[in-house]
């Protein structure tokens, strides 16, 4: 079976590797010159989201499919971290904080936590006093409820290292990697083509650029790219990963000190014309939140934006859109932490070894519904 994978981010390299390991003859197309790198912050001119991600691996799925994906992804990250010296995952719990005045958010956190626990996720709600001794790095003033996700981690040196390590494994498995090549996909009824060349199957894992790659096919996807942001600060922080829902900011330890993020701009952006630098309002707000919670009053050494992808129901678009033509996108800001599992699932579907996940089927909507971009980190 000849398969083309378009897009060499975390999802694309995983699908390509797993397809080749499953016996397919695979070609991977990536428009960037490199597949991954070992940097702790993104290169200026690189657009792929996997290079710009925060590397937070803190899933809190609330259904069975999400729990299966999250658990499998962490297993595979850990497996790779044990075997590839360039990429590591650092097990670190994540603490979610909800304000004492935010009754609705507290109820939502309890509901989400209960649902996650039902599906085997190791997460529990606690009064702030109950975790104060465990996390002395955090000032919990004004917090009314917390949730601690025990099985969580972050990736070092950065998420690009996963891409690089997985790309090497893909090459070893026989994947023919074409970098520096910007492609488009067509479908003339006899099967999918990449730049006119016919393949038995094509997987488009082009993140926020998926609609543009598919444009010649006329296929419409309910997908909106939007900007999210991150920064690195010299603040010397070695505590848990934190999601401060009142501030709308998360932060975690980082080789240079601390990484903070979110900065969601909840509107569709043009994937070919977006601002790659961090906005002042995001930098100021994130540093304020970090100072409030940790006492660290440091500036930002670097701040950047990148593209996340929204769908009408917040679930991915993962599966076949036309005979032999598959997509994998719509991660709502959580595509990196799920990539080892979503890539695996899609490879198995393409090889005919697994049924599609109905909840993620790209054709599950009536036409292309109008919808608003919802930020992935909200409660």
Ligand X SMILES: Cc1cc2nc3c(=O)[nH]c(=O)nc-3n(C[C@H](O)[C@H](O)[C@H](O)COP(=O)(O)OP(=O)(O)OC[C@H]3O[C@@H](n4cnc5c(N)ncnc54)[C@H](O)[C@@H]3O)c2cc1C
Residues in the site for ligand X, rule: CB under 6 A? Answer: 6-12, 29-32, 47-50, 52-56, 182-183, 205-207, 209, 213, 228-230, 261, 306-308, 329, 331, 333-337, 339
Is 159 or 324 the residue whose CB approaches ligand X more closely? 159
Angle between helices 159-172 and 10-21 (to 10 degrees): 20
Residue 153 has, within 13 A of its CA and on its CB side, a CA count of 23
Grouping H, G, I as helix, E, B as strand and the rest as coil, residue 322 is strand
DSSP 29-86: EESSSSS----SS--TT---HHHHS--EE-----SHHHHHHHHHHHHHHHHHHHH-TT
Grouping H, G, I as helix, E, B as strand and the rest as coil, residue 10 is helix
Apex 219 CA angle, 218 and 220, nearest 5: 110
Is 235 or 337 the residue whose CB approaches ligand X more closely? 337
**Burial, 104: exposed, middle or buried (Cβ in 10 Å; 0-12, 13-18, 19+)?**
exposed
Is 254 or 334 the residue whose CB approaches ligand X more closely? 334
Is 6 or 102 the residue whose CB approaches ligand X more closely? 6
**Burial, 325: exposed, middle or buried (Cβ in 10 Å; 0-12, 13-18, 19+)?**
buried
Q: How far is the CB of 7 from ligand X (least distance, A)?
A: 3
Is 48 or 312 the residue whose CB approaches ligand X more closely? 48
Q: How far is the CB of 100 from ligand X (least distance, A)?
A: 27
Q: How far is the CB of 252 from ligand X (least distance, A)?
A: 8
Q: How far is the CB of 107 from ligand X (least distance, A)?
A: 26
Q: How far is the CB of 314 from ligand X (least distance, A)?
A: 13
Is 65 or 100 the residue whose CB approaches ligand X more closely? 65
Distance CA(157)–CA(231), nearest Å, equals: 15
Q: How far is the CB of 364 from ligand X (least distance, A)?
A: 19
Which runs of consecutive H residues, i.e. helices, occur in 179-328? 210-214, 280-294
Q: How far is the CB of 260 from ligand X (least distance, A)?
A: 10
Is 102 or 325 the residue whose CB approaches ligand X more closely? 325
Q: How far is the CB of 366 from ligand X (least distance, A)?
A: 25
Could you tell me which residues come within 8 angstroms of residue 352 by beta carbon, excluding any fewer than 6 positions away? Answer: none
End-to-end distance of the chain based on CA atoms, in angstroms?
Answer: 43
DSSP 111-180: HHHHHHHHTT--EEEE-HHHHTTT-TT---TTEEEEEEESS-EEEES-HHHHHHHHHHHHHHTT-EEEES
Spatial CA neighbour of 295 closest among 350, 239, 226, 342? 239
Is 3 or 102 the residue whose CB approaches ligand X more closely? 3
Is 61 or 144 the residue whose CB approaches ligand X more closely? 61
Q: How far is the CB of 145 from ligand X (least distance, A)?
A: 23
């Amino acid at each position: 079976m000849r398969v083309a994978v378009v897009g060499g981010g975390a999802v694309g390299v995983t699908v390509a590797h797993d397809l080749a390991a499953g016996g397919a003859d695979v070609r991977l197309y990536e428009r960037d010159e490199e597949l991954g790198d070992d940097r702790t912050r993104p290169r200026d001119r690189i657009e792929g989201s996997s290079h710009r991600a925060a590397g937070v691996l803190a899933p809190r799925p609330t259904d069975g499919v999400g729990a299966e994906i999250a658990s499998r992804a962490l297993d595979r990250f850990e497996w790779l971290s044990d075997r590839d010296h360039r990429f590591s995952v650092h097990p670190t719990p994540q603490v979610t904080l909800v304000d004492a005045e935010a009754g609705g958010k507290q109820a939502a956190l309890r509901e989400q936590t209960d649902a996650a626990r039902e599906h085997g996720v190791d997460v529990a709600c606690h009064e702030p006093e109950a975790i104060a001794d465990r996390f002395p790095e955090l000032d919990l003033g004004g917090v009314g409820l917390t949730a601690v996700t025990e099985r969580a981690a972050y990736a070092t040196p950065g998420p690009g290292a996963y891409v690089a390590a997985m790309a090497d494994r893909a090459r070893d498995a026989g994947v023919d990697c074409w970098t520096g090549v910007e492609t488009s996909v067509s479908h003339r009824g006899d099967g999918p083509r990449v730049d006119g060349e016919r393949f038995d199957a094509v997987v488009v894992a082009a993140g926020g650029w998926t609609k543009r790659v598919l444009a010649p096919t006329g296929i419409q996807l309910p997908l909106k790219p939007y900007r999210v942001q991150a920064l690195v600060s010299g603040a010397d922080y070695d505590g848990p990963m934190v999601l401060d829902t009142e501030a709308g900011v998360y932060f975690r330890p980082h080789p240079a000190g601390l990484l903070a993020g979110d900065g969601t701009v909840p509107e569709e952006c043009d994937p070919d014309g977006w601002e790659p630098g961090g906005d002042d309002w995001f930098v100021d707000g994130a540093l304020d939140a970090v100072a409030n919670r940790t006492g660290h009053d440091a500036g930002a050494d670097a701040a950047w934006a990148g593209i996340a992808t929204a769908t009408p129901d917040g679930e991915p678009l993962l599966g076949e859109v036309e005979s032999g033509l598959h997509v994998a996108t719509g991660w709502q800001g959580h595509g990196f932490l799920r990539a080892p599992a979503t890539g695996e699932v899609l490879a198995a579907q393409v090889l005919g070894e697994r049924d599609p996940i109905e909840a993620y089927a790209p054709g599950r909507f009536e036409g292309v519904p109008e919808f608003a971009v919802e930020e992935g980190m909200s409660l």
